[in-house]
Amino acid sequence: MKVVGKEKVMKVGMMEQIKREIAVMKMVKHPHIVELDEVMASKSKIYFAMELVRGGELFNRIAKGRLREDAARMYFQQLISAIDFCHSRGVYHRDLKPENLLLDEDGNLKVTDFGLSAFSEHLRHDGLLHTTCGTPAYVAPEVIGKKGYDGAKADLWSCGVILFVLLAGYLPFQDDNLMAMYRKIYRGDFKCPPWFSSDARRLVTKLLDPNPSNRITIAKVMESSWFKKSVPKTVRTKQELEFEAFDKEDAAEGGGANGEKLKKQSETLNAFHIISLSEGFDLSPLFEEKKREEKEEMRFATTRPASSVISRLEEVAKAGKFSIKKSESKVKLQGQETGRKGKLGIAAEIFAVTPSFLVVEVKKDNGDTLEYNQFCSKELRPALKDILWTSPADNSTAA
């Protein structure tokens, strides 16, 4: 629980910062970001109920001495995964440091404290952020310079300082005099200790480049040899396990071992089902704000038989590197490559309005919503275009 006094917040003018922190934490749901469960308020207090993270701060681990390179790499991989996810949503943390990185009971990293974060909407006409914030030892030189900065590049500098601290056990830029420390940061004046491997030294140097236009990007960090070495084993999600069990379900319902045949036909929709499919009856916006481009499902009608819909989905799966499992009324696609939030999983279910008129519902089963929406707009919709039913007025029914 995080408890904030309303009067104190109002007195120091931090109400906008609190609102921003709530908005950001609702937006960034990721395995390596502390989740906000509930926000409550009384007359005098604001209460944040957050995911319980039992392992303490990463800072406490570093305080005992530098980490082994493989341990540092694991934490850094998880940090970059979380920050890449934030940046894909137009959110910049701006106060990354070991004290804001927590560990759960399994030793996995969780980013917290989005109080100083910024949205891409905060950019000025020059496309840059202009608020100086963060902790001095971890702040990028362009933030100190007060000439405007790119939030993504500034976060990457902080990630570079964190990586250095994990591997070295001390800060790259240190001085008792704050202005002297700022001068070192501005010049990128640091030295890697001799125990750094050549790959680690190369990556740290690229992250701590004082010129933001030359600084390495997240995409390049992920491609670097040091980062890719000993990629952690991914824990299979519930959805991935369900995907693997799909054939067994089919066999149990009367199909073959490979799920090729099912006695169960497409479910027939009655009037109440059809009404419930209407967006006008969707009450979720009352409880959760969601941008239109972040929809997790789409529906379309077709006069083609279910077999045509399934064969078209098979073509899409083959072209997009997806594994596919099917029955006569359901199709599941499982991405073979890991995205920002694991492998993309997509489920399609076919409903019969009449024997010759079907409604198909496609929804995200697992993975990142933005990646799902990009897949739908670039690959799925174009592939389904010619089997969609259109009204005589030539209006598509696709949601």
The tokens describing 317, both together, are 């799966």
3-class SS of residue 391: coil
Tokens (6 digits) for 197: 């491997």
pLDDT of the residue at 91 = 85
83-119 tens-digit pLDDT: 998 888 888 888 899 999 999 998 999 998 876 555 5
- Can you give the pLDDT at residue 10? 79
Tokens of 30: 């990721």
Does the annotation count 95 as an active-site position?
yes
Residue 239 amino acid letter: Q
Instruction: Give 129's contacts (C-beta < 8 A, 6+ positions apart).
Output: 92, 94, 118, 122, 123, 148, 149, 150, 151, 154
Sign of dihedral through CA atoms 5, 114, 204, 230? positive
* pLDDT at res. 321: 83
88 contacts 344 by C-beta, under 8 angstroms = no
- CA dist., res. 170 & res. 172, Å (int): 7
Q: What is residue 119's predicted lDDT score, i.e. its pLDDT?
A: 53
Say if residues 351 and 359 touch (Cβ distance below 8 Å): yes
State how far the Cα of 258 lies from the Cα of 250, in Å rounded to an integer: 8
Bridge partners of 349, per DSSP, are: 330, 361
Task: Indicate the burial class of 384 (C-beta count within 10 angstroms; 0-12, 13-18, 19 or more).
Answer: buried
Q: Name residues of the chain where pLDDT drops below 70.
A: 115-134, 231-245, 247-296, 391-399
Q: Identify each DSSP E strand in 107-227 by its residue range.
A: 109-111, 118-119
Q: What domains sit in the chain, N to C, each tagged with a CATH number?
A: 54-228 (1.10.510.10), 238-387 (3.30.310.80)
35's CB contacts (< 8 A; 6+ apart) are 25, 29, 50, 51
Q: Which of 95, 113, 250, 368 is catalytic?
A: 95
User: To the nearest 5 percent, what fractions of the chain are helix, strand and coil?
Assistant: 40, 20, 40
**What was the pLDDT predicted at 390?**
73
